């Protein structure tokens, strides 16, 4: 991972992202990517034997970090 950088910007109080907000599915997709797992192709079976994807909404890894 490329670390040590600021991604996006916040308002002057640091309360909300105003440029390049990052979602939780993007964070998890980045973690899975770094572990060598394709988050959009890998599925787990739930208790009702239905496949569940690791991340929602076809989330992609944070491109600034990979």
For residue 15, tell me if it sits in a domain: no
For residue 60, tell me if it sits in a domain: yes
Write down the pTM of the prediction. Answer: 0.81
For residue 3, tell me if it sits in a domain: no
pLDDT digits (tens, 9 = 90+) for 52-63: 999 988 899 999
Separation of alpha carbons 41 and 53, rounded Å:
7
Question: Residues of the chain whose pLDDT is less than 50?
Answer: none
For residue 7, tell me if it sits in a domain: no
For residue 38, tell me if it sits in a domain: yes
**Number of compact structural domains in the chain:** 1
Assign residue 62 a region (left: φ > 0; alpha: ψ between -120 and 50; beta: otherwise): beta
pLDDT in the model for residue 2: 85
For residue 59, tell me if it sits in a domain: yes
For residue 41, tell me if it sits in a domain: yes
**What is the domain range of residue 34?**
22-66
For residue 61, tell me if it sits in a domain: yes
């Amino acid at each position: 991972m490329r670390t040590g950088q600021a991604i996006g910007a916040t308002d002057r109080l640091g309360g909300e992202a105003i440029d390049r907000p990052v979602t939780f599915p993007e964070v998890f997709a980045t973690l899975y990517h770094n572990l060598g797992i394709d988050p959009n192709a890998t599925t787990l079976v739930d208790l009702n034997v239905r496949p569940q994807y690791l991340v929602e909404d076809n989330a992609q890894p944070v491109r600034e970090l990979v």
